[in-house]
Amino acid sequence: MLCRNRAASQRGFTLLEVLVAFIITAMALGALYPVYVKGATTLDLARDYALALSIAESRLAETTVTATPQQGRELDRFDWDLSTQTYINVSLDDVSSLSYTLLLVEVNVHWQNRGKPHETTLQTLKPVLRD
């Protein structure tokens, strides 16, 4: 009878209960880890795309109208190249009456992320007065 009162007065978890709780927690964390890694990888890639678009936008804004292609490197890992060509709009009937020419300006930015190549491209039209 003394043992029964003593066991009832001691409250706590047994070693087996603690081990089972630990195993369940470890399994849950193990299942969540790949989700965390995928999220971190996606966040890293999204940051790279945002930087690449920012580089492309700044190249488009700073570009002067030249016939020669340009290229460069930003932040030691983003390579870019810029090209221009005359834009021909087939919907215009008489292009010769226009006082300007439209140039298609294209910027490609490419980089490596975790060993995989990525690329983004921006294009715009710029009017140039005719000679």
Please report, in angstroms and rounded to a whole number, the separation of the first and last CA atoms in the chain: 111
In this structure, the strands spanning 78-86 and 70-74 are antiparallel
Residue with tokens 């488009």: 60
Domain range for 97 is 2-129
Q: Residue 90's pLDDT is what?
A: 61
| Cα–Cα distance, 76 to 71 (Å, whole number) | 14
Number of structural domains in the chain: 1
pLDDT digits (tens, 9 = 90+) for 62-111: 887 666 789 999 999 999 999 998 887 766 666 666 778 888 999 999 99
pLDDT category at 1 given cuts 50, 70, 90 is: very low
